[in-house]
Structure 1
Amino acid sequence: MTTTVQTRDGRALEVHEEGDPQGLPVIVHHGTPMSGLPYAPHVELAREQGIRLIGYDRPGYGGSARAPGRVVADCVRDVADIADALDLERFATWGVSGGGPHALACAALCDGRRTATASLASVAPDEADGLDWLEGMGEENHVEFGKVLAGEEALRSYLEPEAEDVKNADPEQLAELMATLLGREDRAVLTGRFAAYMIECDRHGLGPGIDGWLDDDLAFAEPWDFDIAEIATPVLLLHGEDDRFVPVSHGRWLAERIPDVDARIHAADGHLTLLERRMREVNEWLLSHS
């Protein structure tokens, strides 16, 4: 079920609900670009495990209005507005890749309704001490984040043709566009139903244009407006050792600084494989900590 939530500042957020309507509400922060559309196997698991799965399109993606100049921590207000609109007395949350920082912002700043957080393959802050932010990333990400440093105009000029390529890709073309980002395990899962889901998500998220993608990238390079070290509630952190989108060094940096963290570094995983293989594990952890 897809609905629209009005934020406190008058923007529209598109929200996607699936799973068990009586289960634990879990708000999902999608990757970059992507969108909040649910993945069918995640919906099946949610029904089986007692999860009310709530995805939403971040501002500028899909059916959600843009919020120019947003920072990572701004998502906390949007999540609170979603929780208010859906009358949630409690909820857990998880985020993957570019959604990871937004989930961690909720861990640090959300009100007492949020019970537990899972971070899957999250990037670390751009100003992370002792971390070479780009080391180990595939060439596509090196180029993209080089454009971030060059400014919004340069980034927009780069992302617009990239978005058209992504939206028009079939599964084989999508794998080729991501070639330097895909290790062996990620290449193996980027087929069939999962590849079709990624294409559907990108087409929905990028349908209105590249503003959401652009604003995500700019936000990652700015202060996130919260302190990782002040997270006071449990966090599950998952990362794959063969991740070329967000190298495992990011996960290790975060794990060393989040106070109450259950860090699980999986040698057999990359980046995309976490969504394909680890959701039962994530749901079990969230249920046990909520």
Structure 2
Amino acid sequence: MKRLPRLAFVFLLALVYRQLQAPPPKIPGTPGGPPVTSPRIRLKDGRHLAYHESGVPREQARYRIIFMHGFDSCRYDVLRVSPELARELGIYLLSFDRPGYGESDPHPARTEKSVALDIEQLADALELGPRFYLTGFSMGGEIMWSCLKYIPHRLSGVAILGPVGNFWWSGFPANVTLDAWNVQLAQDKWAVGVAHHAPWLTYWWNAQKLFPASSVIAFNPAIMSRADMALIPAFAYRTHTHQVRQQGEYESLHRDMMVGFGKWSWSPLELEDPFPGGEGKVHLWHGAEDLIVPVGMSRYIAQSLPWVRYHELPTAGHLFPMAEGMADVIVKSLLLGDD
């Protein structure tokens, strides 16, 4: 009888531990996992990256652009550059599933640096040459800063679109991060805080039903600006939505949050001009009415880094790259320097 309380305590701990553990990922191409339907490359560590090509054929291209998709997206959510502009300028677009999304293998040790190195290996595997252009949106936009830090020697230019900001990056004045923090819904403050301070709780926090978790994961319309709501019909083309989370929400969405809002050892404010000779440009775009990724941190970065060309769209929300003709404007600015 004396052992019963101890056994009950151990049993309770086991139950709690089980609740905190995410289910194993459903890895593409393995028994029980989704099928592999796209071309993939094999990285040095054995992982695979699935990719998608659009625009003109790679061998005929004058400009080669790698696009990095955002949160809860995949390789097919690429900038919709018009076929006319792609042919006129000779644009080749390469997009890929970030680890754990779509058909790219998960990467449990993923960091903000590892994704930049994945891009470099992808470019080499597809023989894109010594330099290429990059553009990234939302969470993919945040990783553009990592590319500027770790592989600047491979870049011809970069377009950063509505990038997620990490509220714990050093160098930002308290009022800037506080203002950005307070734009979020209360439930998102909790979800982001958990991802940063207690990443081991991220799966449970977003899977439990006791109280609201991430509003972005749940598609809460409260985070959509008026401009964003007008663009929702543009998502009718997304017949691939089922692929995005097919490996499990932990390996895609939750790990994305843990990396994006995790403990970085550096800040974008510490970066130096990657193109001191003027051989390339860094463009930063943000919608002033963005309710998903507050604009304040992008404004401050642009003010602090004079080599960043800043484009603030006064009436746009987070989804501005999907607006009719906007992809062409962004790409022409990146490749031709048009403002």
TM-score relative to the length of structure 1 = 0.85
Residues 28, 225 of structure 1: CA spacing in aligned structure 2 closer, same or farther, 3 A cutoff? Answer: farther
* CA separation of 1:253 and 1:69: change in aligned 2, threshold 3 A: farther
Mapping of residues 61-80 of structure 1, within 5 Å:
61-80=101-120
In structure 2, relative to structure 1, the CA distance for the partners of 1:157 and 1:241 (3 Å cut) is: same
1:187 counterpart residue number: 229
1:123 is matched by which residue type in structure 2? Answer: V
> What one-letter code is carried by the residue in structure 2 that aligns with 1:284?
K
Name which of 129, 148, 152 aligns with 1:107: 148
Q: Give the distance between the partners of 2:54 and 2:307, measured in 1 at CA.
A: 29
CA, structure 1 residues 175+106, in 2 after alignment: closer, same or farther (shift >3 Å)? closer
Q: Does 1:205 align with 2:205?
A: no
Which residues of 2 match residues 1-290 of structure 1 at below 5 A? 2-21=38-57, 22-23=60-61, 24-39=63-78, 41-42=80-81, 44=83, 45-89=85-129, 90-128=131-169, 129-130=172-173, 131-132=177-178, 133-138=180-185, 141-149=188-196, 151-160=198-207, 177-191=219-233, 194-197=234-237, 199-200=238-239, 202-210=241-249, 211-228=251-268, 229-233=270-274, 234-277=281-324, 278-288=326-336
Kindly report the root-mean-square deviation, in angstroms, between the aligned alpha carbons of the 2 structures: 2.6
Contact 2:196 2:262 in 1 (8 A): no
Q: Which has the larger radius of gyration?
A: 2
CA shift digits 1:74-97 (9 cap, x unpaired): 112101110110111121001111
Supply the AA of the counterpart residue of 1:206.
Answer: R
Amino acid corresponding to residue 36 of structure 1 in structure 2: R
Unaligned stretches of 5+ in structure 1? 163-173
The gaps in structure 2 that reach 5 residues or longer are: 1-36, 210-215, 275-280
- The C-alpha deviation readout for 1:107-147, integer Å capped at 9, x for no partner, is 22215231110111112233232212422124563343144
Query: Cα gap change, 1:157/1:46 in structure 2, threshold over 3 Å: closer, same or farther?
Result: farther
Contact 2:82/2:328 (<8 A) preserved: no
The number of residue pairs the alignment matches comes to 275
Measure the CA separation in 1 of the matches of 2:117 and 2:328: 28
The one-letter amino acid of 1:51's match is I
SS at match of 2:312: strand
**Structure 1 stretch displaced more, 55-64 or 231-240:** 231-240
Contact 2:64–2:128 (Cα < 8 Å) also in 1: yes
Provide the identity percentage: 26
Alignment partners' CA distance in 1, 2:217 and 2:204: 22
Which residue is 1:166 aligned to? Answer: none
Q: What is the aligned partner in structure 1 of residue 27 from structure 2?
A: none
- Give the equivalent residue in structure 1 for 2:212: none
